[in-house]
Structure 1
Amino acid sequence: MARPGWAPPRLDGFVLTERLGSGTYATVYKAYSKKDTREVVAIKCVAKKSLNKASVENLLTEIEILKGIRHPHIVQLKDFQWDSDNIYLIMEFCAGGDLSRFIHARRILPEKVARVFMQQLASALQFLHERNISHLDLKPQNILLSSLEKPHLKLADFGFAQHMSPWDEKHVLRGSPLYMAPEMVCQRQYDARVDLWSVGVILYEALFGKPPFASRSFLELEEKIRSNRAIELPSRPPLSRDCRDLLNRLLERDPTRRISFQDFFAHPWVDLEHMPSGESLARATALVVQAVQKDQEGDTTAALSLYCKALDFFVPALHYEVDAQRKEAIKAGSSDLPVMWKWAGLSPQLLPLIPEMAREKPRLLAALEVAAAAMAKEEEASGGGEQDALDLYQHCLEELLLLLAAEPAGRRRDLLHTEIQNLMARAEYLKEQIKMRESRWEAEGLDREGLSESVQSSCTLQ
């Protein structure tokens, strides 16, 4: 909020209100348009007197890049103006603050939340990569949230961004040391792959609560960056195998061995193809139409495969939809999916084996049905519902481990073994989340108790 005796700059057509943040040469204000719409915006004010030649070039590049960009996960530049003192960038307003604040308020993010955010960030980076644009200052403070109720990521602050082909090399040090790739710090020679390192640091911080090079001093930080030691991932909280694989490949010190952009976008944990979006429902519906046609032609194998693919889009469509009635309408409208909803969450490789298991292994099918119910319960769980999901996981795992021991060698046994490992990781993760929440409640209870004693002591002294 504004300090006494302090006033924001004046800009024709807008009323500038509270200050949202400030950097080296810019201050960002919340504002609203004086027009009938009263649209809320964020205005980035850059003082002309603070600009040197390099910062002028950065600002012009930022304006030029953002002018040509329209993407749901990149902050929109609506207009820019200037007067004798300042240059004003009129930006889309994001009410949820930045990702750094969001993470710190929650200490760590559950893997499923981090995954949704990572898909959104990857979507923005894919859009930029296709246009040979590198951000070069990726960090949680430069990633904004549209709101806190249903947060969507918006990549912001393109002050260091550059047009860079994948083979271009740069030598100018850019960004923030905690999120800066080792090759940029150590060799000052780098290419677009530095953005992938920064993505890895952001994901690490979201999952573990602090960046991998968190340090007490700049000297300590520099030593960690220059070290040749591989980044070690903490064992807690437990993460899925795909998530750990992606982190290890992003946080590869040698850029020639780091995951490529194409492999990052296609990685099974990111899986941009099935990212929840406005197109998910249409793609699912089109696949169901094809599946029904194959069913009518008597090609049940092809039909089942298409139903499975449709389900892979119906689930993201449900995640994308925020209105409860429309969610139910999506489920009702997908009634052509026989009983496929029951199996949402299980490995897609297992789904084609369901008819075979129904005939030969009804006990195995029943255990997998409980596993799918546990996943569904986990997706919608909050508070005590998480314990219900954990109970279902434990019940199905006891049964599945017995059935695995009796299962003959072959493809079904291999798939079942992989599925059990996945279920055990999810159950372990959920157990950890419940334990952490109970510890937090206990700590908050002690804090309240201490505060109460402090107040009583104060009253006694008076």
Structure 2
Amino acid sequence: MASASWAPPRLEDFILTDKLGSGTYATVYKAYRKRNAREVVAIKCVSKKSLNKASVENLLTEIEILKTVHHPHILELKDFQWDRDNIFLITEYCPGGDLSHFIRTRRILPEKTTQIFLQQLASALKCLYEKNISHLDLKPQNILLSSLDGPHLKLADFGFAQHMTSQDEAQALRGSPLYMAPEMVCRSHYDARVDLWSVGVILYEALFGKAPFASKSFSELEEKIRSDRTIELPPRPRVSLECRDLLQRLLKRDPNERISFPDFFAHPFVDLEHMACAESLQKALSLVIEAVEKDNAGDFTSALTLYCRAMDYFIPALHYETDVRRKQALRSKVTQYISRAEELKVLVSSSNRTLLMQGTSARELLKEMAQDKPRLFAALEVASAAVAKDEEGMVHDALDLYQQSLGELILMLSAEAAGRRRELLHAEIQTLMRRAEFLKEQIKTSHWKSESLDQEMLSESVRGSCSLQ
């Protein structure tokens, strides 16, 4: 009889099998629908006996939100039922486990993997933000991995969620302390911006293997959060400047200094425009058609730019595709476009490098004419240094110097009177801008092949994680 107490509850139309997890008042089971080709689902069983007034309200809010919000990165509520003892929430099944397990089995995640996960989480939060919904319990355990063929996240567990905006305030303690915003832990008034802090903690943990305020007790955690010390990012592993900037802006103790939701969604590291989604392929194809037209017309510079822009969508499209045959066909096409872009890169580089070298004498003449303008002369000196670095093949250094000089020269141009010096300055700016834009594209295209490979390795990584469940 003892074993019977551990048996899952019975529910008409479903066969409940493995226990996936349990919390204070609910247990989640894997289940099969008896009809409909034995569809696999997850069923959250909530014991009525364990419910108090607050938990009833939370459960009703969770059902209401999940019934009205439909998004590819938010867990789908398929139905809910009840009997004398339990309330059942029937959701889609996520065989990949949760993000906490995924991070724990790898210790840290590569920045590119983390960025893909962040994009998916951000797209779900954007959907909630537009409906004035705050999750209030964001943590890796509440982010599920649904796909065996790629990193496909599902935001789950809306038990603490509320309809609120950045102006609405609340005071109840909700969520998990390690991921709670300081204003919530310190029991002061808080608003929707607490979710942004939680995103920062999740991002930090994925990149560095532990939360920024990892503590042995709540009192130790609270003490760390109340401290005025700036949260410093570990020196290793190294992260990009964009990633570092986002982390520092998310992890501001003062919510008034924290990044806003619109700025978060628009941040270059989040880059929602280029996340892998159903529209990625169509965007890529429309750009590549235009690129081929320019290519056939002999406008190689424009063609290269369009191939670059297309690839920004092709790589996510390649990742998003799950059908093996279509994925292979797409990969073959992408390889062709990359090869053509590499050929164009050589042609365009040769052309604009020639123009750059031809402009040396004009640049020297312009320097002679700028003897009475120290700031203009200094900017031209930086331009000459950029050209020298370019000649040495030091692409990143050259681009930095080109951008520095252009920032100054464009300001100089706006103040320059009509005449020969203005004409030379205008021509110099055009030449430098053309070369700087080319170097940007060169840097971008150098990541295409490796990024495509990274996507495949990431899919394998996810499959490996799922096999550990």
Offset of residue 104 of structure 1: 0.6
Counterpart in the other structure of 1:267: 267
Aligned: 1:116 with 2:116: yes
State how many pairs are aligned.
383
Counterpart in the other structure of 1:372: none
Counterpart in the other structure of 1:178: 178
Is the CA contact (8 Å cut-off) linking 1:31 and 1:43 kept in structure 2? Answer: yes
Q: Distance in 1 between matches of 2:140 and 2:86?
A: 27
Which amino acid in the other structure matches residue 198 of structure 2?
A: S
Q: Distance in 1 between matches of 2:80 and 2:399?
A: 69
Is the CA contact (8 Å cut-off) linking 2:288 and 2:307 kept in structure 1? Answer: yes
Deviations 1:58-110 (A, max 9, x none): 10000000001221111110000011111110111111111111111111111
Q: Distance in 2 between matches of 1:408 and 1:162?
A: 49
Counterpart in the other structure of 1:67: 67
Deviations 1:330-350 (A, max 9, x none): 25546895845549xxxxxxx
Question: Greater relative contact order: 1 or 2 (C-alpha under 8 angstroms, separation 6 or more)?
Answer: 2
Q: Distance in 1 between matches of 2:264 and 2:137?
A: 18
Which amino acid in the other structure matches residue 85 of structure 1?
A: D
Counterpart in the other structure of 1:218: 218
Offset of residue 40 of structure 1: 1.1
Q: Distance in 1 between matches of 2:257 and 2:51?
A: 38
Deviations 1:362-420 (A, max 9, x none): 9x9xxxxxxxxxxxxxxxxxxxxxxxxxxxxxxxx9x7449958998645697869998
Q: Distance in 2 between matches of 1:43 and 1:341?
A: 50
Q: Distance in 2 between matches of 1:269 and 1:298?
A: 35
Q: Secondary structure, in 3 states, of the residue corresponding to 2:112?
A: helix
Distance 1:235 1:46, change over 3 A: same
Counterpart in the other structure of 2:237: 237
Q: How does 1:349-428 map to 2 (within 5 A)?
A: 356-359=348-351, 361=353, 400-401=393-394, 410=405
Is the CA contact (8 Å cut-off) linking 2:18 and 2:29 kept in structure 1? Answer: yes
Counterpart in the other structure of 2:40: 40
Counterpart in the other structure of 2:251: 251
Aligned: 1:201 with 2:193: no
Offset of residue 173 of structure 1: 1.4
Q: Distance in 1 between matches of 2:153 and 2:340?
A: 31
Distance 1:292 1:165, change over 3 A: same
Which amino acid in the other structure matches residue 19 of structure 1?
A: K
Offset of residue 254 of structure 1: 1.2
Counterpart in the other structure of 2:312: 312
Comparing 232-241 with 164-173, greater Cα deviation is found at 164-173
TM-score where L is the length of structure 2: 0.73
Counterpart in the other structure of 2:330: 330
Counterpart in the other structure of 1:155: 155
Deviations 1:179-207 (A, max 9, x none): 00011122521111110100000011111
Offset of residue 299 of structure 1: 6.2
Is the CA contact (8 Å cut-off) linking 1:62 and 1:159 kept in structure 2? Answer: yes
Counterpart in the other structure of 1:379: none
Is the CA contact (8 Å cut-off) linking 2:149 and 2:322 kept in structure 1? Answer: no
Is the CA contact (8 Å cut-off) linking 2:170 and 2:190 kept in structure 1? Answer: yes
Is the CA contact (8 Å cut-off) linking 2:97 and 2:145 kept in structure 1? Answer: yes
Which amino acid in the other structure matches residue 286 of structure 2?
A: A
Q: Distance in 1 between matches of 2:53 and 2:69?
A: 25
Offset of residue 302 of structure 1: 4.7
Distance 1:288 1:148, change over 3 A: closer
Q: Distance in 2 between matches of 1:179 and 1:235?
A: 22
Is the CA contact (8 Å cut-off) linking 1:138 and 1:179 kept in structure 2? Answer: yes
Q: Which runs of 5+ in 2 are unaligned?
A: 357-389, 407-431, 451-469
Q: Distance in 2 between matches of 1:144 and 1:44?
A: 14
Offset of residue 268 of structure 1: 1.2
Deviations 1:33-66 (A, max 9, x none): 1114111111111111111111111100000000
Which amino acid in the other structure matches residue 164 of structure 2?
A: M
Offset of residue 158 of structure 1: 0.2
Q: Distance in 2 between matches of 1:286 and 1:182?
A: 46
Distance 1:404 1:168, change over 3 A: closer
Q: Distance in 2 between matches of 1:407 and 1:360?
A: 18
Which amino acid in the other structure matches residue 17 of structure 2?
A: T
Is the CA contact (8 Å cut-off) linking 2:173 and 2:187 kept in structure 1? Answer: no
Which amino acid in the other structure matches residue 195 of structure 2?
A: D
Counterpart in the other structure of 2:416: none
Q: Secondary structure, in 3 states, of the residue corresponding to 1:31?
A: strand
Which amino acid in the other structure matches residue 21 of structure 2?
A: G
Offset of residue 307 of structure 1: 3.1
Is the CA contact (8 Å cut-off) linking 1:308 and 1:340 kept in structure 2? Answer: no
Q: Secondary structure, in 3 states, of the residue corresponding to 2:154?
A: strand
Is the CA contact (8 Å cut-off) linking 2:150 and 2:319 kept in structure 1? Answer: no
Q: Secondary structure, in 3 states, of the residue corresponding to 2:6?
A: coil
Q: Distance in 1 between matches of 2:237 and 2:292?
A: 43
Q: Secondary structure, in 3 states, of the residue corresponding to 1:201?
A: helix
Q: Distance in 2 between matches of 1:33 and 1:264?
A: 40
Which amino acid in the other structure matches residue 359 of structure 1?
A: S
Q: Distance in 2 between matches of 1:403 and 1:77?
A: 48
Comparing 288-297 with 405-414, greater Cα deviation is found at 405-414
Is the CA contact (8 Å cut-off) linking 1:32 and 1:40 kept in structure 2? Answer: yes
Q: Distance in 2 between matches of 1:75 and 1:321?
A: 20
Which amino acid in the other structure matches residue 186 of structure 1?
A: C
Which amino acid in the other structure matches residue 99 of structure 1?
A: L
Is the CA contact (8 Å cut-off) linking 1:292 and 1:336 kept in structure 2? Answer: no
Counterpart in the other structure of 1:99: 99
Deviations 1:93-150 (A, max 9, x none): 1111111111111111111111111111111111111111110000000001114552
Q: How does 1:132-171 map to 2 (within 5 A)?
A: 132-171=132-171
Q: Distance in 1 between matches of 2:4 and 2:247?
A: 47
Is the CA contact (8 Å cut-off) linking 2:308 and 2:441 kept in structure 1? Answer: no
Is the CA contact (8 Å cut-off) linking 1:96 and 1:151 kept in structure 2? Answer: no
